[in-house]
Amino acid sequence: MEWLNRMTKAIQYIEQHIDGELTSEDVAKAACSSTFHFQRMFYMLTNVTLAEYIRKRRLTLAAQELAMTDARVIDIAFKFGYDTPESFAKAFCKAHGITPTAARQPGVTLKAFPRLSFHFSLRGDQDMDYRIEQKEAFSVLGKKLHVTCADDENLEAIPAFWNEMNSSGMSDYLCKLSPESKMYGICLHMDMETQYYDYMIAVDTPAASLEETKKFEIEEIPAATWAIFTAIGPVPDAVQKTWQRIFQEWLPATGYEHTGGPEMEVYPPHDDPFDPRHRCEIWIPVTKK
């Protein structure tokens, strides 16, 4: 598949430049992809960010050089992108549990993070329905949570955020402000380098200016072409599994790429989210490659 070849080329590029200047933009270019789309795909396919993968590969190779050569620690630190021996020693100790100097002792245990490889796997055991829609820009009103996907923190923090909004009555309050709106769970301002983004629980901004809206934040969702998927089953499991399938199955198998814009979960208001028949949608902004 095309995506398999592109990912393989990206890994080859990383290995060829692992001891030189290496940017996410250059790696994405090697995969003929936008930087955001490549970083998002890389993380969803490997469960490690691109920056973390490069860091772990460099520390793996640095450990090998320390164990097998007489090169100075400072030279190895500079070779693998560290500005000072101190920053290298700190990162090395965190990765291997010992100092760079100790890595030269006979019989020490070092950790290796192997080079990634991608393989095609036929699935097709479950249909994945979707539709493509164009939507003009619109604004939403709601509350935000600043969250990270490091260590899968978002998988616990976001459901807890929903529980807090529901138990406090804030979700119902939002629905009353915009009674014709569905509920949105929106991923905004995603930074794949730091792994942080804002998650917003929101409704369409009311047409009338209301005094009550001042306690909420407003965000503009840009016009986009959306790939829309249906998640069926109790929240959050059904939603999380659908997210995984979008990035692991649908995007690699199609000619579409993520544009880097906001992602949305769209929920019917007042439905029971724990009902096995519960239906919601996931909206991904896409462009045809």
Please provide the average confidence, as pLDDT, over all residues in the chain. 92
Helices vs strands, H then E, count in the chain = 10, 9
Mean per-residue pLDDT, 128-133: 90
Cα–Cα distances in Å, from 120 out to 4, 11, 92, 147? 7, 16, 34, 32
Q: What is the mean pLDDT of residues 20-31?
A: 94
Q: 2-104: what fold?
A: Arc Repressor Mutant, subunit A (1.10.10)
**120 CB neighbour count, 10 Å cutoff:** 8
pLDDT, average across residues 274-285: 95
Instruction: Write out the E strands in the chain.
Output: 130-135, 138-148, 183-191, 196-204, 217-221, 224-232, 256-258, 263-267, 279-288
- Joined tokens for residue 139: 């604004």
Portions of the chain given CATH number 1.10.10.60: 2-104
pLDDT band of residue 3 (cuts 50, 70, 90) is confident
Structure tokens at 71: 């090169």
Counting residues of the chain whose pLDDT is more than 70, the rounded percentage is 97
Give this prediction's pTM: 0.82
pLDDT band at residue 125 under the 50/70/90 scheme? low
Q: List every span in the chain annotated with CATH 3.20.80.10.
A: 130-288
The pLDDT value recorded for residue 120 is: 58
Query: 281 pLDDT exceeds 60?
Result: yes
CATH 3.20.80.10 fits 130-288, yes or no: yes
Which pLDDT score, from 0 to 100, does residue 1 have? Answer: 65
Q: With contact defined as beta carbons under 8 Å apart, do 111 and 96 qualify?
A: yes
